[in-house]
A and B are shown apart, each in its own frame.
Chain A
Amino acid sequence: MKVAIIGVGLTKFGELWESSFSQLFVEAGISAIKDANIDGKDVEAIFVGNMSGGRFIDQEHISSLIADHAGLNPIPSTRIEAACASGGLALRQGVMSILSGFHDIVVAGGAEKMTDVLIGQSTQTLATAADSEWETFLGMTFPGLYAMMARKHMEEFGTAREQLAMVSVKNHANAKHNPYAQFHFDITVEDVLNSPMVADPLRLLDCSPITDGSACVILASEKRAKEFTDSPVYITGSGQASGTIALHSRKSIPVVDATVNAAKEAYKRANMEPKNIEVAEVHDAFTIGEILAIEGLGFVDIGKGGKATEEGITQIGGKIPVNTSGGLKAKGHPVGATGVAQAVEIVLQLRGQANGRQTDADMGLSHNVGGSGGTAVVHIYEKG
């Protein structure tokens, strides 16, 4: 399979009190269209990832809202929801719409406006990604689920608390070189270990923040892409898998089956192996998430993610740089936008436009998870 990404666009990520939801999407969309050097009239369809317009901004029917505000009526616009994996799934739907021959040029984007509600309400809304009747009802929070995965990982594989902290330290260091990132300051392992406890053993600085933001990419068929660029980045692999919605039903608590299965499909479609990947954006909504990701994606063996992080293989300059953008932890995590923002970062890396965080990569991967692992989606990218 081969689908070109011919344009990318992002808004600044952060607490964007001056901007509305539709403003954010339009801003990211326009910059992607400009970057692709196409005109709005070339766009045939929109796919938008959004987790919870209903709870965050009292607005459903996001698909219509954004097509209208983008001035793109009457082309079809479709919203895709899979909690924090909504963006990754929107990207995949866009890819499939092109591979099917249905469309030649589409926008795949994502947006979330999380700071229009108070912090307690955003915690409540994020928890709807878990099993509402049999987890959340009993007082479970989202950090609580990842905390249980972290504790099990620590007990089963000897992962150290400090190794989890090193994920945050690395991602904050990377975000300093990303002008779109929410945070631009370094933190230390001690800062993480002394930050307030959220859900034992996870502390505040193990958790991604509440973020507003939007990301868009312009996807094109291989044939049409050549009209606009000589050097597109191609998506050559895509995989998506489902896992149990409740963590307690998972076969193994510290292994995200959906990640393993989605990666298997993506590698197979791209005819690649984990060792071919040179840069990756993975789902570090919590520090343990990055460790589970690099294991599930096959970059390191199951159980070895903490040690690998400590050894520096995931740093820029390491064997497989992970979350060069700053990741969800430091770039920010506007849930519906995240999966698309990951694709944007990989495209910038493969084009050589990643400034102070540039790696020497021709092949990249993005990995986006919904809930505690109910959904995972993986994409593989190659330089054209």
Chain B
Amino acid sequence: MSSNIPRFWRNLKSRYNLIGTKCLNCEEVHFPPRYFCPKCRRLSRLEEFKLEGRGEIVTYTVIHTHMQGFEGQIPYVLAIVELSDGPRLTTQIVDCEIGEVKAGMKVKSVFRKIQEDGEAGLIHYGYKFKPIK
């Protein structure tokens, strides 16, 4: 089902440039960005924070039964990556053989096409991660 463009457009900053938030009260960095620090709640003082885009694979899976919009990509690797700045995110791991991927592997962010919303819909771009060799 196609969605209206602002739904994606409002997230572009974070998806393109890994912009998260940092709470000045507790120093915690969040990604995706938050509007409220879950730890400090009303004492939250949030500001934008650009993540370095480097980290380490915590765990991963190889997707064989894909979601719509990911036709032609299977099998693909999805991982939880712990970033050097603190937060963890879910991301595809690319530019390597599937068999090379393992927990603890050092990775860095790259800018890639994520998915296509049908033949006439938007083409979505954003972050994926690749091994640091």
Contact = CB atoms under 8 A, between A and B. Distances in A.
A101 interface: no
A213 to B, nearest CB: 23
A200 B90 contact: no
Contacts of A202: 61
A253 interface: yes
Contact of B64 (A137, A197, A253): A197
A144 B115 CA distance: 17
Contact of A133 (B11, B60, B115): B11
Contacts of B11: 133
Given A200-B61, A253-B58, A124 B68 contact: yes
B64 A198 contact: yes
A149 B80 CA distance: 10
A197 B89 CA distance: 24
Interface residues of B, number: 31
Interface residues of A, number: 33
Nearest to B58: A253
Interface in A206-225: none
A74 interface: no
A52 to B, nearest CB: 13
Interface stretch (A26-34, A167-175, A243-251, A341-349): A243-251
Contacts of B91: 138
Contact of A197 (B59, B62, B78, B103): B62
Interface string A36-67: 00000000000000000000000000000000
Given A139-B92, A144-B78, A120 B68 contact: yes
Interface string B20-60: 00000000000010000000000000000000000000111
Contacts of A248: 58, 80, 88-90
B65 A141 contact: yes
Nearest to B91: A138
Contacts of B69: 139
Given A120-B68, A134-B89, A138-B126, A147 B114 contact: no
Contacts of B89: 134, 248
Contacts of B59: 148-149, 151-152, 155, 253
27 contacts: A123-B65, A124-B68, A127-B67, A134-B90, A138-B91, A138-B126, A139-B63, A140-B67, A140-B78, A141-B63, A144-B61, A144-B78, A149-B59, A151-B61, A152-B59, A152-B103, A155-B103, A196-B64, A197-B62, A197-B75, A200-B61, A200-B62, A200-B75, A202-B61, A248-B58, A248-B90, A253-B80
Q: List the 9 closest pairs (A to B, CB-CB), nearest first.
A: A147-B61, A200-B62, A248-B88, A152-B59, A248-B80, A197-B64, A148-B59, A199-B61, A139-B70
Interface of B: 11, 32, 58-70, 73, 75-76, 78-80, 88-92, 103, 114-115, 124, 126
